[in-house]
Amino acid sequence: MYRIEQFLNLYFQNRERKLLLHCCCAPCSCSIIDRLLHAEVRLTIFFYNPNIYPEGEYNRRKHEIVQYAGKRGVAFVDVDYDPDRWLNYVRGHEMEKERGVRCSLCFECRLLKTAAFAAENGFADISSTLGISRRKKLEQVTDAGRRAAACYPGVTYLDYNWRKNGGVARMDEIAKHEQFYRQQYCGCMFSIKPYPK
């Protein structure tokens, strides 16, 4: 835990300890939320995931992160379901393999909305839980976050590798303790087949 606290102390040294955190689901978010709260960062969760299909899956993931945010006393912003915008955003890349251009566009779509909300609501810093999953390319998430933040002067993307220093192990521990639902696909209709074991 020391290294993340040291990183956050340096990062927020001359900044307000306040962060808008884009969250995709409770399992991916829990250890990041835990670490940020432990480091006394004032946290607001931003839930914008129009890629999740079907709507029942979306509602299940959202309900779980809402419950966890409430339990941890974290503010929650729900932008609600917007699948048509997402489909238009990734149009032409539907059949690409996971980790391809479609995934980059998906991250960009969600993080642009996060950065826009941050700029409009007094958040100088944003980050995302998307990169903690070992099934994602961290560089894709980081690049999308940086590009999104660059569109809004005064907004910066905090691009820490949340997998490091026990982040994944802590995620698994909390998810097991909380009995979180562990989905078997990323979320979009094009990734709905189960991940290979």
Q: What is the mean pLDDT of residues 46-66?
A: 97
What number of residues does the chain have? 197
Residue whose tokens read 């998810």: 175
The whole-number pLDDT of residue 196 equals: 39
Token digits of residue 116: 């826009």
C-beta separation of 180 from 64 below 8 A:
yes
Burial-class residue 94 by CB neighbours within 10 Å (0-12, 13-18, 19+). Answer: exposed
Per-residue model confidence (pLDDT) at position 195: 43
Res. 127: pLDDT tops 90: yes
Q: Per-residue pLDDT tens for 181-192?
A: 998 888 899 988
Asked whether the predicted pLDDT for residue 1 surpasses 90, the reply is no
In contact, 64 and 25? CB cutoff 8 Å? yes
**Which tens digit of pLDDT belongs to each residue from 65-115?**
999 999 999 999 999 899 999 999 999 999 888 899 999 999 999 999 999
- Identify the structural domains of the chain with CATH numbers, from first to last: 2-191 (3.40.50.620)
pLDDT exceeds 80 at position 2? no
Q: What is the mean pLDDT of residues 57-72?
A: 97
How far apart CA 190 and CA 24 sit, in angstroms, is: 17
Q: Where residue 59 falls among pLDDT bands split at 50, 70, 90?
A: very high
Query: Is the bond preceding 196 in cis, omega lying within 30 degrees of 0?
Result: no
Q: With 70 as the cut, is the pLDDT of residue 25 above it? A: yes
- At residue 168, what is the residue type? V
Residues 96-103: contacts with CB within 8 Å, 24+ apart?
96/190, 98/135, 98/186, 98/191, 99/136, 99/137, 99/140, 102/188, 102/190, 103/136, 103/137, 103/140, 103/186
CB 47 within 8 A of CB 75: no
